[in-house]
Chains A and B, each alone.
Chain A
Amino acid sequence: MDLDNNVREADRQIWEEEFAAAARRPLPVRLRYAFVRTYKPILDDAPYRSFEHMDDYRHWCETQLPSWLGYGRV
């Protein structure tokens, strides 16, 4: 998979400016703006889940979660 080649140079420059700006912020500030909270249906509806194998978890995500959450494999 070569995702790098699909990036436009203009996008890359904008991203690099964002990376440089983030590097100037102290860690507590970076974390304050990085962690957000929105309700995710089904995923957030149980206090605890566990899966013996990662494949079991991936399968559960694909069969139980709304596809728009993006947890399904491509």
Chain B
Amino acid sequence: MAAFEYRQAEELRAAFSRWSVRYLFLGKSGAILLGFPDTTQDVDIFPERSSENGRALVEALRALGFQLTEAQAEEIVRGKDFVQLKNGPFDLDLVFAPDGINTFAEAWSRHVEVEGFPVCHPDDIIASKLAANRAKDRETLPRLLAFRDYWARIQR
């Protein structure tokens, strides 16, 4: 499988918009959309957990080329905390309950739009990485914190 490309980001945005999926980019992929210069391998999406949004998400994912069985689709509609997809055109993690973020509504209330891509606020991206407390996150966090400060300055 090839790496995620801008064309695929556009296709994701178009499909999620067509099916009115409520979602946010999260994790390092979200930070990269905000301008964080780093590398990553997969796309992290934080979808709102509701059966209606889950059904819309399944339709959008199938339109993008993800091969979902009925059982897998049902798990997405139900909103299991974490779903990892490597059965489509790019690697995609669906994180319905990210560590360090209370609710989708809270994250949505402070989200950032980057050229039509809805992205978690840098504080939420950092909060989720702090809460996850993985070795790979600990390596990234000092630079990500510095980016958050830089990003906040250039927003003024």
Is there an interface contact between A27 and B6, defined as CB atoms closer than 8 Å? yes
Q: Which 5 A-B pairs have the closest CB atoms?
A: A70-B136, A47-B87, A22-B37, A28-B6, A35-B4
Is there an interface contact between A52 and B6, defined as CB atoms closer than 8 Å? no
Q: Tell me how many residues of A have a C-beta within 8 Å of chain B.
A: 47
Interface of chain B residues 26 through 62 with chain A (CB within 8 A): 29, 32-33, 35-41
Interface of chain B residues 99 through 143 with chain A (CB within 8 A): 99, 114-115, 130, 132-139, 141-143
Is there an interface contact between B41 and A36, defined as CB atoms closer than 8 Å? yes
B97 at the interface (CB under 8 A from A): yes
A57 CA to B114 CA, complexed, in Å: 30
B interface SS class: mixed
- Give B residues with C-beta under 8 Å from A: 1-6, 9, 29, 32-33, 35-41, 67-68, 72, 75, 80-87, 91, 95, 97-99, 114-115, 130, 132-139, 141-143, 145-147, 150-151, 154
Task: Please judge, given known A-B contacts A3-B145, A23-B154, whether A69 and B86 are in contact too, CB under 8 Å.
Answer: no
A30 CA to B9 CA, complexed, in Å: 12
Q: With both chains docked as a complex, state the minimum distance between the C-beta of B110 and any C-beta of chain A, in angstroms.
A: 21
Is there an interface contact between B39 and A35, defined as CB atoms closer than 8 Å? yes
List 15 extra interface pairs beyond A35-B39, A46-B86, A51-B83, CB under 8 A: A3-B141, A4-B142, A12-B146, A15-B146, A19-B36, A20-B150, A23-B154, A32-B6, A37-B1, A37-B2, A48-B86, A49-B84, A57-B81, A71-B136, A73-B134
Smallest CB-CB separation from A24: which chain B residue? B35
A57 CA to B96 CA, complexed, in Å: 12
Is there an interface contact between B39 and A48, defined as CB atoms closer than 8 Å? no
Is there an interface contact between A50 and B83, defined as CB atoms closer than 8 Å? yes
Of B41, B85, B138, B142, which contacts A35 at CB under 8 A?
B41
Smallest CB-CB separation from B98: which chain A residue? A54
Is there an interface contact between A7 and B81, defined as CB atoms closer than 8 Å? no
Smallest CB-CB separation from B151: which chain A residue? A19
Is there an interface contact between B37 and A31, defined as CB atoms closer than 8 Å? no
| B interface footprint on A34-71 (CB within 8 Å = 1, 0 otherwise) | 11111010001011111111101110010000010111
